[in-house]
Amino acid sequence: MNIIEGGVTAAQGFEAAGVEAAIKYQNRKDMAMVYSRVPCKAAGVFTSNVVKAAPVRWDQEVVAHSAYVQAVVVNSGIANAATGRQGYDCCRQTADKAAQLLGISPDAVLVASTGVIGNQIPIDRLLAGVEKLAESKVDTREAGTMAAEAIMTTDTISKQVAVQIELDGKTVTVGGMCKGSGMIHPNMCTMLGFVTTDIAISKELLQEALSEDVVDTFNMISVDGDTSTNDTLVVLANGMAGNPEITSKNGDYEKFKEALHYINTTLAKLMAGDGEGATALFETKVIHAASKEDARILSRSVIRSNLCKAAIYGHDANFGRFLCALGYSGVQFDPEQVELYFENAEKRMLIYKDGVATDYSEEEASKILASPEVRVLVDMHMGEAEATAWGCDLSYDYVKINADYRS
């Protein structure tokens, strides 16, 4: 697997665009399009929130019932959630408009929205935006970057990644972009993610690969514990790489899964580290848990704890908070058996063992917690399962961003 530059336009046959449509704010790119010159197999995972935004309900229909997908239209001004029938009509009109301009069927168009909940999208501006996108889409790396920028809300950096693998002598490319900074506790996460690939694969296996992988990637991050109404992750596969179509779980399928896992992990970590107000990526790895599910629950409990997050922000080696968050996770264990480490890229430090604090240096521990990427390693001494969860620290700026978000 080679990591390459680029994002959604890295794979063959994909075009993209990002434009200013003034959906809610002026002078910023707020609409994006991803387009494939040929029809794609599509797979998707969507928010588990029972309050689902209109575009989520639209996309669920399309992914379930359309034979193929060829375009995605995104706006980052208004979430189009809690908008009733008018909101759903807005999705239909967007798809109709894009279909007409691109010469494809409306049910081959996915739509996605992120932003304020409860407002209606000004449909005229949205449709004008679709026109601009259809005119300007191209297959350059820059176009992919512009699309990645156009889907940002409170994100501070655009997020994209691409890799290449070889399958039967053919080069297969997988690229993706995502956005997400607040209301991030995916299950699925306002997290929007779009992955494009030129691999040839059956729709069933594409969906299975995606559904399996999100459990250990996007579903393992949390900025604030709030699972959005809009979370959407879509993979489009257009087959242009020319590899023998993957229709069974063979070696090629495993290679693809590995590539997809890298894409999803990278995007998920980028989101967690760019959480609203974050100054650090806060990773928790649980090893030797009794089961995979236990490991997931334990690691997520730590990274979503406000007190642990505030301790990371304050570079405070207040290890009791981490132990406490493990303790209320719902998983049963013997606290005396647990070992807890703080670590960064250079150093690992044992903090807690045999039921008590070790004789660690507060100063050294605080230094570790001041790193841009902080990891808490937890050894449960119970079994062989492990899992990693990613979050961020809790800063003044998180509060500021969210107390003022709409103004």
| Positions in the binding site for a copy of itself (CB under 8 A) | 47-52, 79, 81-86, 116-119, 182-183, 185, 187, 224-229, 304-307, 310-311, 313-314, 316, 318-321, 323-328, 331-333, 335-336, 352, 354-357, 394-396, 398-400, 402-407
| Strand locations in 76-169 (E) | 109-113, 159-167
The β-bridge partners of 341 are: 350, 377
Q: What b/e sequence results for 265-280 when a residue is b if at least 16 CB atoms lie within 10 Å of its CB, and e otherwise?
A: bbbbbbbbbbbbbbbb
111 within 8 A of 91, measured Cβ to Cβ: yes
Q: Left if phi > 0, otherwise alpha if psi is -120 to 50, otherwise beta: which for 82?
A: left
192-197 and 170-179 strand pairing: antiparallel
Give the single-character DSSP code of 108.
G
Shortest gap between Cβ of 110 and a copy of itself (angstroms)? Answer: 22
Q: Which is nearer to a copy of itself, 326 or 387 (CB)?
A: 326
Shortest gap between Cβ of 402 and a copy of itself (angstroms)? Answer: 4
Shortest gap between Cβ of 83 and a copy of itself (angstroms)? Answer: 6
Select from 237, 247, 236, 243 the least CA-distant residue to 167. 243
Shortest gap between Cβ of 222 and a copy of itself (angstroms)? Answer: 10
Cα 395 to its chain centre, rounded Å, is: 21
Q: Which is nearer to a copy of itself, 51 or 157 (CB)?
A: 51
Q: How far is CA 170 from CA 198, 254, 263, 269, 329, in A?
A: 11, 16, 19, 29, 46
The two three-digit tokens of residue 113, written as one number? 């929205």
| Strand locations in 106-145 (E) | 109-113
Shortest gap between Cβ of 64 and a copy of itself (angstroms)? Answer: 20
Shortest gap between Cβ of 200 and a copy of itself (angstroms)? Answer: 37
Report the alpha-carbon distance of residue 242 to residue 39 in Å, rounded. Answer: 14
Q: What residues act catalytically?
A: 190
Q: Which is nearer to a copy of itself, 127 or 310 (CB)?
A: 310
272 within 8 A of 309, measured Cβ to Cβ: no
Q: Which is nearer to a copy of itself, 205 or 325 (CB)?
A: 325
Shortest gap between Cβ of 147 and a copy of itself (angstroms)? Answer: 25
Q: How far is CA 258 from CA 163, 165, 189, 210, in A?
A: 10, 9, 21, 11
Q: Residues 6 or more apart from 355 whose CB is under 8 A from it?
A: 335, 336
Q: Which is nearer to a copy of itself, 16 or 188 (CB)?
A: 188
Report the alpha-carbon distance of residue 222 to residue 393 in Å, rounded. Answer: 10
Q: Which is nearer to a copy of itself, 262 or 313 (CB)?
A: 313
Residue with tokens 């596969």: 237
Element (H, E) at 358: none
Q: Which amino acid is at 332?
A: Q
